[in-house]
Amino acid sequence: TPPDDPPPRWGSLSSDGFMFIWDIRKHHLKPDKLRKSKQEASRSPDNELPWIPLIKVQLSRIDGQGEVAGLRMQMEGKARDPYRMCCTSEDGEFCVANWAPIEEKKEVPVSMEFGMQDKEGKTPMKQVCQGHYGPATGIHRHPQAELSDYYLSVGDWSFKIWRIGTQQPIVVSPSLPSCMTVGRWSPTR
């Protein structure tokens, strides 16, 4: 898409442990989904197509003990791993997931659901690390491509810098006198 146009796809998180990938282009919907959305539109008073997620991913914990209640997310886009998604949770965790579609032999008619478990028992969640004492309210990937494995998370009274694959942050700020709610990398430093 041209730089002035909004991206056609984006993701959202829900507190019940799901991630949704949305696409505003109708021609990317599977025929079954498009047919269902047209049927629902014919029942609505304004005759508009309803919003239906392109992909629905359950963010199950690696140990299988419940779901991750995502709060903020950062998707890779066109970086080295286009299906990688990092998020922070309501429980202060830093999480890494891979939302690439799981190969299945059967078609899922209404929504493409991924992430339960594939045939090998793997979930899309690759890493879940305890990071903050309360909700982690911000996450940001380093803007330089050669440092795209580094993430900044913000929550409670601190910020933390993570590297993909490590179980603990590589930098932890000292506790600040007030809660932090947002943080970004500097594009010039």
Tokens matching residue 167: 């179980």
Identify whether the C-beta of residue 161 lies closer than 8 Å to the C-beta of residue 183.
no
Q: Tell the residue number behind the tokens 């999480």, with chain if given.
A: 95
Query: Phi/psi zone of residue 133: left (φ > 0), alpha (ψ -120 to 50 degrees), beta?
Result: alpha
- Using left for φ > 0, alpha for ψ between -120 and 50, and beta otherwise, residue 115 falls in left
The whole-number pLDDT of residue 5 equals 55
Residues 6+ apart with CB under 8 A from 22: 9, 10, 11, 12, 51, 53, 54
Per-residue pLDDT of the chain (189 residues; tens, 9 = 90+): 344 555 667 889 998 999 988 876 666 666 666 666 666 666 666 666 667 777 888 888 888 888 999 999 988 766 567 788 899 999 999 999 887 765 533 333 333 344 444 445 456 888 999 999 999 999 999 988 888 899 999 999 999 999 999 999 999 999 999 999 899 998 887
Residue 29 is predicted with a pLDDT of 63
pLDDT, position 1: 37
What is the per-residue pLDDT for 56?
A: 84
For residue 107, the model assigns a pLDDT of 39
pTM, full prediction: 0.75
